[in-house]
């Protein structure tokens, strides 16, 4: 898991015409497979009369990106893969690109299709607003109140954002930390407290 990644904000689109065939690229932000499915269904209804609706998406995932492409009836490798390769080239995640084609009556050949799908995707991505999203992991740290100064001192020496602090029979601090810093933080927390502090990752 990376500490940050590039993605798109809002919508963008582009259009190219090749030998009377119209290619319309729709760039959308999508953060899950379920969101991708919903967006695909919406554009299927909007462009119900299109000859093809090819697409590709790349999601941030966990350890590895989640990538998928569809030629949607075009010759294998001539549509979905060129779309995906442009997303990869732009180093973007959580992005769905749908390219709608209206056939103009003249065949382009596989090479022509690859260039058309790649070019229109690149134009849509160039028109998109690119932002950087930071990723954080939430840890709930519990410890005996008498070692509070050791715990808080360690927290302030790390790139950790404190979200909540509570004291009852034990202390509890909720922190958010970049993924790359978790291993070092938890190791030093164990050493600094003699393994008296305990933590668990929080999931919404």
Return the CATH number at 45: 3.30.230.30
145 and 115 in one domain?
no
Q: Looking at residue 180, which CATH number applies to its domain?
A: 3.30.70.240
pLDDT in tens, 36-47: 999 999 999 999
202: pLDDT confidence band, cut at 50, 70 and 90? confident
- Residue 175 CA to residue 159 CA, distance in Å, equals 10
- What the block records as the tokens of 36 is 């991708």
pLDDT in tens, 47-83: 999 999 999 999 997 778 899 999 999 999 999 999 9
pLDDT in tens, 88-146: 999 999 999 999 999 999 999 999 999 999 999 999 999 999 999 998 999 999 999 99
Q: Is the pLDDT of residue 1 over 90?
A: no
Q: What's the domain count of the chain?
A: 2
197 and 143 in one domain?
yes
Q: What is the DSSP string of 41-86?
A: HHHHHHTTT-SEEEEEEEE--SSS-EEEEE-TTSSTTSSHHHHHHH
79 and 30 in one domain?
yes
Taking CA atoms, 191 is separated from 115, 148, 197, in Å, by 57, 14, 9
Which residues span the domain enclosing 93? 4-133
Query: Of 72, 100, 133, which residue constitutes the final position of a domain?
Result: 133
Query: Of 77, 99, 133, which residue constitutes the final position of a domain?
Result: 133
172 and 73 in one domain?
no
173 and 156 in one domain?
yes
28 and 117 in one domain?
yes
The answer to whether 178 and 197 have CB atoms below 8 angstroms apart is: no
84 and 115 in one domain?
yes
Query: Of 133, 158, 182, which residue constitutes the final position of a domain?
Result: 133
176 and 157 in one domain?
yes
Report helix, strand and coil shares of the chain as percent, to nearest 5: 35, 35, 30
């Amino acid at each position: 898991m990376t500490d940050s990644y590039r993605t798109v904000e809002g919508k963008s689109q582009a259009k190219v015409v090749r030998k009377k065939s119209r290619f319309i690229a729709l760039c959308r932000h999508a953060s899950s497979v379920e969101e991708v499915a919903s967006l695909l269904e919406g554009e299927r209804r909007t462009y119900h009369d299109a000859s093809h609706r090819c697409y590709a998406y790349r999601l941030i995932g966990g350890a590895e990106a989640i990538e998928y492409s569809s030629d949607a009836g075009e010759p294998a490798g001539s549509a979905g893969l060129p779309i995906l390769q442009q997303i990869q080239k732009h180093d973007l995640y959580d992005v769905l690109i749908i390219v709608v084609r209206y056939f103009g009556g003249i065949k382009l050949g596989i090479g022509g299709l690859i260039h058309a799908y790649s070019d229109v995707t690149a134009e849509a991505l160039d028109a998109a607003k690119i932002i950087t999203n930071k990723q954080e992991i939430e840890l709930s740290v519990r410890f005996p109140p008498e070692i509070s100064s050791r715990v808080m001192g360690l927290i302030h020496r790390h790139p950790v954002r404190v979200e909540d602090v509570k004291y009852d029979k034990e202390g509890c601090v909720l922190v958010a930390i970049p993924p790359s810093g978790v291993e070092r933080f938890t190791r030093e927390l164990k050493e600094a407290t003699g393994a008296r502090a305990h933590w668990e990752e929080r999931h919404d």
